[in-house]
Amino acid sequence: MSISLKNRSLISISDYTPEEICHVLDIAEDFEKNPHQNLLNGRIIASLFFEPSTRTRLSFETAIQLLGGNVIGFSSTAGTSIQKGESLADTITMVASYADLIVMRNPIEGSARFASEVSKVPVINAGDGANQHPTQCMLDLYSIRKTQGTLENLEITLVGDLKYGRTVHSLVEAMCHFNAKFNLVSPVELKLPSVVKQHIKDRNLEYHQYTELEDAIPHSDIIYMTRIQRERFPDPCFATPCWRTPSPTAVCCTRCRASTRSTWTSMPTRRLITSSRHKTASTPVKL
Amino acid sequence: MEKKKELTVSAIENGTVIDHIPADKVFQVVKILGLDRVSTPVYFGINVESKKYGTKGFIKASNKYFETEDVNKIALVAPTASIIEIKDFEVVNKQTVTIPDSIEHIVKCFNPNCVTNKEHDVPTKFTVIKDAQGNIKLHCHYCEKNTTQDKLEFI
């Protein structure tokens, strides 16, 4: 069965079936081998960032340039008609008449879904508040599959701010497709929201909650670290956890920024798998 | 002697009777339907004996008929309610409300940062989730958050 994603928006990871997700990962693998493809020649891509971003915006814009496309847009609302009170619908409708594709980050939750409904061109959600960040999720899945050789039947330990971390929510949803087992490590105040846990329960999958990381490490295939979402949480105090030696095949995906990165000790077999938060050769796969 | 089934509130000639409302939801239903702002007679009862539910509430609204959208509003707070349309003192239509699979326009998303609360003219849209205990949650089509029954606010 052939899978076509032509003219499809990407708003939430749940919009894509497991087969479609794997198809995107397969394409990404090809891109990693041959990143300089002129596929966007003559195309205009709108990069609309309504809130600050460094890594995501530059990843997208670099990928567009590498693929031969042109970028229009803005990196903040300063100097745009949004400052004059223009509605999101009007902004998107206008931009859609210039661009072939819209990449949007917006602090308002659900704004990307709404944009995709008023836009005549596809929309890629580059983060909508605390809701979804599906392209980050795609890249996390890519890293997991690349290091583990599979997405099936893995035990994944999610650590940090599980309440506000939108990439955690997306990743849990995605990994539920692949029969994952989840270890949830967070302070009590930052536990995974019940709506996301319900998603795991609905699929009869297993999850365990911890406040200490050391209990989950020994049997983890993946350790997924997140930073505290300081902009959403008034008390960023977070104790650095103690570490024990993980399973020999354990891989850590980290999204921590340098200033908030947890201390690593006694993990001789670990390999750090970078995400789009760090510039890598896989940048163009972030489509 | 045969017990009279007549209610203490007189029958209405034309209009709608909403029966089998949970006793503690009557005032909420009155408010949701805007019956506190109409000029036609409205009668209601609370803690009325009910064989089926123990106690119940009811509303009789003269010269008032409800659209499907209004009925949906009732179903969200009073899923056991029945809607009886009266014309010339006769029952012309009787239906039990059913909770729809989706709800549009009528309920606010509880998430203050949802696009439906931040932008003008973005109508709300929810998928109705009903758990095994009969509790209802509304899953927002946009922000993907669940609005629970205790946070329901009608537009």
Label residue B101 by pLDDT band (50, 70, 90): confident
pLDDT in tens, A1-38: 688 899 999 999 999 999 999 999 999 999 889 888 89
Q: What angle do CA A183, A186, A187 make, to 5 degrees?
A: 150
B84 with B145, same domain: the answer is no
Which chain A residue's Cα is nearest to B145?
A: A195
Q: Which of B119, B143, B145 lies closest to A87 in CB terms?
A: B119
User: pLDDT tens-digit profile of A54-94?
Assistant: 889 999 999 999 999 999 999 988 878 888 889 999 999 99
B146 within domain boundaries:
yes
Note whether A88 contacts B141, CB cutoff 8 Å. no
CB–CB contact A87 B120 (8 Å): yes
The answer to the question of residue B135 being in a domain is yes
Q: Which of B51, B72, B96 delimits the end of a domain?
A: B96
Are residues B113 and B86 part of one domain?
no
User: Is B143 within 8 Å of A129 when comparing Cβ atoms?
Assistant: yes
Catalytic residue among A57, A91, A105, A226: A105
Residue B10 forms part of a structural domain: no
Of A133, A169, A255, A286, which is the active-site residue?
A133
**Residues within 8 A of B (CB atoms), A 52-91 only:** 87-89
Domains within chain A, CATH numbers bracketed? 36-132 (3.40.50.1370), 135-283 (3.40.50.1370)
CB A284 within 8 A of CB A63: yes
Contact residues, chain B, for A87 at CB < 8 Å: 119-121
Regarding whether B65 and B111 lie in a shared domain, the answer is: no
* Domain shared by B38 and B81, yes or no: yes
Interface check for A22 against chain B (CB to CB < 8 A): the answer is no
Closest CA to A15 of A162, A177, A130: A177
CATH of the domain at B120: 2.30.30.20
Interface ipTM above 0.90: no
**Mean pLDDT across chain B:** 87
* Residues from chain A contacting residue B113 (CB–CB below 8 Å): 107-109, 129-130
Examine residue B112 and state whether it is found in any structural domain, yes or no.
yes
Residues B37 and B68 occupy one common structural domain: yes
Range of the domain at B30: 15-96
B51 belongs to a structural domain: yes
* Domain assignment of residue B143, yes or no: yes
Cα–Cα dist A103/A240, whole Å: 35
Residue at token pair 């009910």: B50
pLDDT tier for residue B4 given thresholds of 50, 70 and 90: low
Q: Are residues B106 and B91 in the same domain?
A: no
DSSP string, chain A: -----TT--B--GGGS-HHHHHHHHHHHHHHHHS----TTTT-EEEEEESS--SHHHHHHHHHHHHTT-EEEEESSSTTSGGGGT--HHHHHHHHHTT-SEEEEEESSBTHHHHHHHH-SS-EEEEEETTS--HHHHHHHHHHHHHHHS-STT-EEEEES-TTT-HHHHHHHHHHHTTT-EEEEE--GGGPPPHHHHHHHHHTT--EEEESSGGGTGGG-SEEEE----TTT-S----PPPP-----TT-EEEE---GGGPPPP-S-TT--EEP-TTS--TTGGG--
Locate A220 and state its tokens.
């983890």
In the block, residue with structure tokens 């100097």 = A79
Range with top average pLDDT, A90-94, A163-167, A251-255, B38-42: A90-94
Number of neighbours of residue B78 by Cβ within 10 angstroms? 24
A107-116, A236-245, B33-42, range with the lowest pLDDT: A236-245
Same domain membership, residue B129 and residue B83: no
